[in-house]
Amino acid sequence: MKFSLKLLFSTMIVMALALGFSGFYFVNYVFETSLQREIGQALDESSILRFAFETAALNVPAKYSVLPDSTVEEIASNLEKSGRTSSRLVRIFGEDKQVLYASDGFMADEGLLMQTNGNMKSYRVINVDAKYYIHTCVILDTLDRILYLETMRNVTGVFTERALGFSLYRRVTFIMLFVGTVIMHLIASLLTKPIRLLTKATKQMAGGDYAYRAKKVSHDELGQLTTDFNEMANALEKNIAMLEEELEAREVFMGAFAHELKTPLTAIIGYADMLRSHKLDEEKSLMSANYIYTEGKRLEAMSLRLLDIIVTKRSEAELRQYSAEEIFTYLKEMYGDDRGMVFRFSYESGMIWAEVNLIKTVLVNLIDNACKASEVGSVVEVKGVNRENGYYFAVIDAGIGIPQEEQHKIVKAFYMVDKSRARSKNGAGLGLALCAEILEIHHSRLEIESEPNKGSCIGFLLPKKEVTYG
């Protein structure tokens, strides 16, 4: 069952109980009060009649020592007729409980008479012929006679009013419940709107629409829940996007990997097949063996690079302090002998936090790339400068440059701007991917500035200890 319906039904049950009990209590209270008033009046009337009877009995001529039955009858008849509206209902019993006088329609039984003794007044409420009466009985003490005076007061009106009250209240209760149901239905659907919107959002998201957000329509706990839900959805969307990106990158990587494997393997298989199926002269055999060797070497280098990338990805750098000078001394020694290029090293003395062998690998890769991109005899400059938040290295060349739209792609594994040119220079598009991984564990990244046919400046900043970069 819907939450709004549960809310509606429970409210209606509470309302029905409250209205029912309060109505019953109210009508009954009015009835009890009216009945008590009527009883009071009936008892007062009974007392008045007793007094009137005893006074009338005193006026009986002295010749009677005992009040005769005929006089009792006469006094009773007078009392009966002295009623203000209609005639009273009275009944007189003698000492032996024999009826001396009874008004027409006095139909009460003698039960009350049997209970009355001494000087007490007694009463009861009786139902005769679908009418209600207050039946009273009082003892008369006149001229040595003990008589019983009974009266009947019609109180059917009080009972009819009670029945009417109940019926009216029942109708009011039904109307109130109906109106209450309509109002409560509106309130319930208003109160549960945030829940409905949240449910809709959950369904949309489950259906793959991760950008869908629940609309916030209240500022209470449910509003807070909506805010929290949307925040959760934001985090979820971000994570899913990241996972999708990772998955895509993995697929691209696998595709490129398979492709890069295929090229040397095809050459190796082709030349090996030629060697085994044809009788080649010495020169051609040597050439084929040479191809197989170089392509095999390419494969070996590629697998080693890949291994390096995987190991670097999983490791954490153990950063130690080194002087920049130490690195530049190493580079100068490495690129000192004539490689057909002009190397210029300029650096400021300073300290770096790094795993020095890894940083050397990065710089060697950058310098190799600069050489590959440049004409023989060009200048390749390697710079080291102190910056506010760390030490900055840069390798600058005047080579072919990298188009703007390719610059962010070259750090991806197997990516080469010009594939045939890169392969001819023994490249496989893994060098910068390795550099990026190494810099990542140093909290750094490659900064590429390049213009086609003008040259490139590829650098990175090694942050000071505790300062992260990126």
> CA-to-CA distance for 187 and 411, rounded, in angstroms?
59
CA distance 345 to 220: 66
Q: Among 180, 431, 459, 463, which residue sits at the site for ligand ADP (rule: CB under 6 A)?
A: 431
Query: Which part of the chain contacts ligand ADP (CB under 6 A), choosing from 5-13, 75-83, 203-211, 409-417?
Result: 409-417
Closest CA relative to residue 381, chosen from 429, 341, 420, 352:
341
Segment lying near ligand ADP (by CB under 6 A), choices 56-64, 169-177, 236-244, 416-424: 416-424
- The whole-angstrom separation of Cα 366 and Cα 383 is 12
List Cβ neighbours of 276 (8 Å cut-off, separation of 6 or more): none
Give the one residue of 42, 416, 441, 462 binding ligand ADP; rule: CB under 6 A: 416
Q: Is 402 in the site for ligand ADP (CB under 6 A)?
A: yes
Q: Is the dihedral of CA 79, 80, 82, 83 positive or negative?
A: positive
Cβ pair 454, 404 in contact under 8 A: no
Taking the C-alpha atoms of residue 128 and residue 317, their distance in angstroms, rounded to an integer, is: 108
| Residue 371 interacting with ligand ADP (CB under 6 A) | no
What is the C-alpha to C-alpha distance for residues 47 and 53, in angstroms, rounded to an integer? 10
Binding status of residue 355 toward ligand ADP by CB under 6 A: no
| Smallest distance, ligand ADP to C-beta of residue 230, A | 41
Which of residues 89, 158, 373, 382 is near ligand ADP by CB under 6 A?
373
> Of 27, 292, 382, 430, which lies in the binding site for ligand ADP, with binding defined by CB under 6 A?
430
**Interaction between residue 438 and ligand ADP (CB under 6 A):** no
Q: Which residues pair with 346 in a beta bridge?
A: 383
Contact (Cβ atoms closer than 8 angstroms) between residue 395 and residue 363: yes
Q: Which of 140, 410, 441, 462 binds ligand ADP (CB under 6 A)?
A: 410
197 or 370: whose CB is closer to ligand ADP? 370
User: In 192-323, where does DSSP find H-type helix?
Assistant: 193-206, 221-277, 282-314
Measured from the Cβ of residue 302, the count of other Cβ atoms closer than 10 Å reads 20
Residue 449 binds ligand ADP, judged by CB under 6 A: no
Among the listed ranges 226-234, 244-252, 274-282, 421-429, the one in contact with ligand ADP (CB under 6 A) is 421-429
Nearer to ligand ADP, 285 or 361 (CB): 361
* Window contacting ligand ADP (CB under 6 A); options: 25-33, 276-284, 315-323, 363-371: 363-371
Number of residues near ligand ADP (by CB under 6 A) = 24
Of 124-132, 241-249, 275-283, 398-406, the window that binds ligand ADP (rule: CB under 6 A) is 398-406
**In whole angstroms, how close is the CB of 409 to ligand ADP at the nearest point?**
8
Its sign, for the CA torsion 336, 340, 345, 351, is negative
Considering the complex, what minimum distance in angstroms separates the CB of residue 458 from ligand ADP?
Answer: 6
Alpha helices, H only, 63-155: 69-81, 111-115
The binding site for ligand ADP (CB under 6 A) comprises: 365, 369-370, 373, 397, 399-402, 410, 415-418, 422, 427-433, 456, 458
